[in-house]
Amino acid sequence: MLEVPFTTAGEIDTSCFARLVRHVLASGVTAVMFPGFASEVLKLTDAEREELTHTLLQHTKNRDVAAIVSIPDHSTEVAVRRATDAAAAGADVVNILPPHQLSPGPSAVQGHLEAVLAAVAPTPVMVQFAPAQTGSALTADDLARLRQRSPNLKFVKVESTPPGAMITALRSRAPDVGTLVGYAGLHLMDAWRRGAVGVQPGCSFIELYLRVWALLEAGEEAAAERLHSRMLPYLSYWMQGVEIIVAAEKLISARRGLVDDPYCRRPRHTLDTTEVAMVDRFLDEFADLLPDVRA
């Protein structure tokens, strides 16, 4: 998940975003998504979203890395329009954040998902299951039925807390749908054991997640768990709120030279001195895996 660099005046920094995209693509990821909660998507204008999405697609079109374009729009008509535009522009996967404003009922949510799935078919689609952020009432049975009606539903990003039960249920009811774990990978080890096919965190310390995943794929589960366990005290604190982890990741990116400034658009969480010190401890602890890119 890509963050959005801003200038100290709060304007998007497109050249810095392009630099960040190049860094993430070079790290060894197999897919990259934009926009999302970590992108401060609710604080971007439509024009800014379009410009940054175009920048991402320009960088991925000749690379073996899937570009996932997220469609968080609440209106079905707007979501269909944006999703079809994204697919036509070269998105490899379309991610749908179910509508949640003013608490639409289950049938309205499912109708929204079906409309977007049909509009972009056969482009693969991922549904983002994030009940803490959206209040989604979707169940594993709902998603399994949706898959039966819409064969291009290929993935579900599970961000429930904890995600394990949903991953297990989806594996049972819709075994041909791949599950990814989000929520900063806080529950990565449990998700892996239940059959998740990937993790989709923020991008400021993507190297740590890649290392954990590589160890898992190499059969070194104990080593993967040790590394992940070292990350947990930081992740569990930062994931107390979306604004906290956005601010922490922005500062990490700035400290590493991935972006020029850690500015977050308002309203925002301002890290206090203790939280800044935590970021610095994190960078010291994992310095061997998180080099300063300016060095």
Specify if 223 maps to a domain.
Answer: no
Specify if 162 maps to a domain.
Answer: yes
Specify if 294 maps to a domain.
Answer: no
Specify if 97 maps to a domain.
Answer: yes
Specify if 211 maps to a domain.
Answer: yes
* pLDDT for 31 beyond 70: yes
- Domain tally for the chain? 1
Beta strands in the chain (DSSP E): 31-34, 66-71, 93-96, 125-129, 153-158, 178-181, 198-199
Averaged pLDDT for residues 153-180:
96
CATH number at residue 26: 3.20.20.70
Specify if 167 maps to a domain.
Answer: yes
Least confidently predicted of 184-188, 189-193, 290-294: 290-294
The CB-based long-range contact list for 282-289 (8 Å cut-off, 24+ gap) reads 282/205, 282/234, 282/252, 283/252, 283/255, 283/256, 285/230, 286/205, 286/208, 286/230, 289/207, 289/208, 289/211
pLDDT in tens, 14-27: 999 999 999 999 99
* pLDDT for 205 beyond 90: yes
Rounded Cα distance between 232 and 34, Å, is: 25
pLDDT in tens, 132-156: 777 767 999 999 999 999 999 999 9
Residue carrying the six token digits 């329009």 = 81
Specify if 92 maps to a domain.
Answer: yes
pLDDT for residue 295: 61
Specify if 165 maps to a domain.
Answer: yes
pTM: 0.96
Percent of the chain whose predicted confidence (pLDDT) is above 70 = 99
- Count Cβ atoms within 10 A of the Cβ of residue 240 and give its class: 0-12 exposed, 13-18 middle, 19 or more buried: exposed
pLDDT for residue 62: 87
| Rg of the chain, C-alpha, whole Å | 18
Name which residue leads in pLDDT, 106 or 94: 94
Name which residue leads in pLDDT, 101 or 200: 200
pLDDT for residue 133: 76
Tokens read off for 236: 């569990």
Name which residue leads in pLDDT, 130 or 270: 270
pLDDT in tens, 231-277: 999 999 999 999 999 999 999 999 999 999 999 999 999 999 999 99
Domain containing residue 94: 14-217
Rounded mean pLDDT of the chain?
96
Least confidently predicted of 70-74, 79-83, 100-104, 186-190: 100-104
Percent of the chain whose predicted confidence (pLDDT) is above 90 = 93
Rounded Cα distance between 156 and 158, Å, is: 6
Q: Ramachandran region of residue 195, left (φ > 0), alpha (ψ -120 to 50) or beta?
A: left
Taking a C-beta distance cutoff of 8 angstroms, is the pair 1, 39 a contact? yes
